[in-house]
A and B are shown apart, each in its own frame.
Chain A
């Protein structure tokens, strides 16, 4: 799928999956679209439906209630699909590791390809993460 990935890297369309975050990564993701950072310059666009997405931006620990829906979303997404875990929650669980409502194994719900740590990561860090993804896609 190398040739396909290269085409994908030209203009990445992202869909935002908020799986019980604290909202902060989410507003920083929206911040990327506003005049200061404006990632639409690079062809990165937030889309309304998972059917149009190339990349899923996942934020938050995944709780028991939202887990089946997240799994469903991942299954609905067109292939190839890449999942980026935004923030400390998808990578390490942040301070919610003692929570009774967290899914035990995150990878069983949705496999994550790239992690952007930080609580929340700065928009610059998110752009850098996406750049790394683009470099990998270009081979």
Chain B
């Protein structure tokens, strides 16, 4: 086989993040893909272990700017899980509201970028135009467009005032109308359909084998959703459907995200209606956390996010582990990208909505150096074989 390697990155005009791809191609066909990450690693887990619990929540918010309420929700769940802290009903609704609004804005962001990647800038402009009202809602609720700072151990930081709710519902109605229009456009447009149908198929078996999560798995027919399977926040108290598609191609992922956004709008509306009725405190005052360990899970826009916290009775975690959804979704490239033309490789890699900021939780120290460049895995493997051979044969 006559194959060539195309290096892409780390700074390229495509994604806003820095990452490095090695596309191995044979003619027009991609035969292999290798990914080098670590350009975004900031050492969150280490810093979190130096901070108090409240500061940790501020910190995990900055793991990723797009999932900036999913990580805090999972983190506070993990800390609450140590002591089985109950949170007030009103706080549960507010958490669900913020989490779902984030899903709407994240999916719209992805749709826009996907449109941009396939040369359909109108979709980009429209999706991002209708994302603005959602950010405006965040500004009304939390005071900031991104990085909301809403989560606290035992509840939430800010209340949603009664006089704001009518305005928020109005904006939500507007967003729903526009989303329905975008859904219609995705269904009707022959260009989008023929460009994305059958591209980058992730088969059901591959999705199972790679342990894919979130929209990536649901588009391949796996009905995995933490919101349904776990009893977290107010998800058991609201009515919504888990969208599952069967084909696993990019088009299904697009349609799935559009439909999921509509479900999220439904959840937000129910939460806002409930916030009119449910009164009470928004935070339980937590004095101290006893020694122990806890886990927190939440369905981020990209899939399941997992936090693990171990405490020793002091006011800071002694171990904090984060597993982000993209960490398990990115390896599915090996199944979905191989055998497709180069022109489709881009949208296929983008279809899992990769977030490298979330993924990069570790750093390889090699020969006592923070040697970050591409160390050949093949070389490491051959060296190990050589070592074993030497041990066995003594030469």
Residues of B with C-beta under 8 A to A16: 16
The interface bits of chain A over 15-29 (1 if a CB of B lies within 8 angstroms of the residue's CB, else 0) are 011111111111111
Residue from A27, A47, A50, A63 in contact with B40 in the complex, judged by beta carbons closer than 8 Å: A63
Complex contact A49–B357 (CB within 8 A): no
Complex contact A23–B355 (CB within 8 A): yes
Complex contact A50–B11 (CB within 8 A): yes
Complex contact A63–B41 (CB within 8 A): yes
- Cα of A94 to Cα of B59 in the assembled complex, Å: 9
Assess whether B347 is interfacial by the CB under 8 Å rule: no
Complex contact B40–A20 (CB within 8 A): yes
Residues of A with C-beta under 8 A to B66: 23-24, 27
Which stretch (B43-51, B183-191, B212-220, B381-389) binds chain A? B43-51
Interface residues of A in 1-46 (CB under 8 A from B): 16-31, 34-36
- Which residue of the partner chain B has the closest CB to A65? B372
Assess whether A64 is interfacial by the CB under 8 Å rule: yes
Residues of B with C-beta under 8 A to A29: 16
- Cα of A98 to Cα of B46 in the assembled complex, Å: 9
Complex contact B128–A95 (CB within 8 A): no
Residues of B with C-beta under 8 A to A30: 16, 128
- Cα of A29 to Cα of B363 in the assembled complex, Å: 28
Residue from B11, B55, B58, B109 in contact with A27 in the complex, judged by beta carbons closer than 8 Å: B109
Contact flag A101-B17 (CB < 8 Å), given A21-B357, A22-B63: no
Nearest-CB distance from A104 to chain B (Å)?
13
Complex contact A23–B17 (CB within 8 A): yes
Residue from B39, B62, B125 in contact with A63 in the complex, judged by beta carbons closer than 8 Å: B39
Residues of B with C-beta under 8 A to A73: 11
Interface residues on chain B, number (Cβ under 8 Å): 41
Complex contact A122–B145 (CB within 8 A): yes
- Cα of A18 to Cα of B12 in the assembled complex, Å: 10
- Cα of A43 to Cα of B11 in the assembled complex, Å: 23
Complex contact B43–A99 (CB within 8 A): yes
- Cα of A119 to Cα of B55 in the assembled complex, Å: 15
Nearest-CB distance from A32 to chain B (Å)?
10
Residues of A with C-beta under 8 A to B146: 24, 27-28, 120
Nearest-CB distance from A21 to chain B (Å)?
7
Binding site of B, secondary structure by majority: helix, strand, loop or mixed?
A: loop
Residues of A with C-beta under 8 A to B10: 66, 69
Residue from A24, A25, A66 in contact with B68 in the complex, judged by beta carbons closer than 8 Å: A24
Complex contact A22–B64 (CB within 8 A): yes
- Which residue of the partner chain A has the closest CB to B360? A20
- Residue of A22, A34, A60, A63 with most chain B CB atoms under a 10 A cut-off: A22
Residues of B with C-beta under 8 A to A24: 62, 65-66, 68, 146-147
Assess whether B276 is interfacial by the CB under 8 Å rule: no
Given A20-B41, A66-B40, A98-B46, 11 more contacts at CB 8 Å? A18-B16, A21-B65, A26-B65, A30-B128, A34-B125, A35-B128, A47-B13, A48-B12, A95-B58, A101-B43, A102-B42
- Sorted from nearest, which 9 A-B pairs have the closest CB atoms? A24-B65, A48-B13, A65-B372, A26-B16, A34-B128, A23-B65, A99-B43, A35-B129, A22-B62
Residues of A within 8 A of B (CB): 16-31, 34-36, 47-50, 60-61, 63-66, 69, 73, 94-96, 98-102, 119-120, 122
Please, could you name 22 A-B residue pairs with CB atoms under 8 Å apart, sorted by A?
A: A16-B16, A17-B11, A20-B40, A23-B17, A23-B65, A24-B65, A24-B66, A24-B147, A26-B65, A27-B146, A28-B146, A34-B132, A35-B125, A61-B42, A63-B41, A63-B42, A65-B372, A66-B39, A73-B11, A95-B59, A99-B42, A99-B47
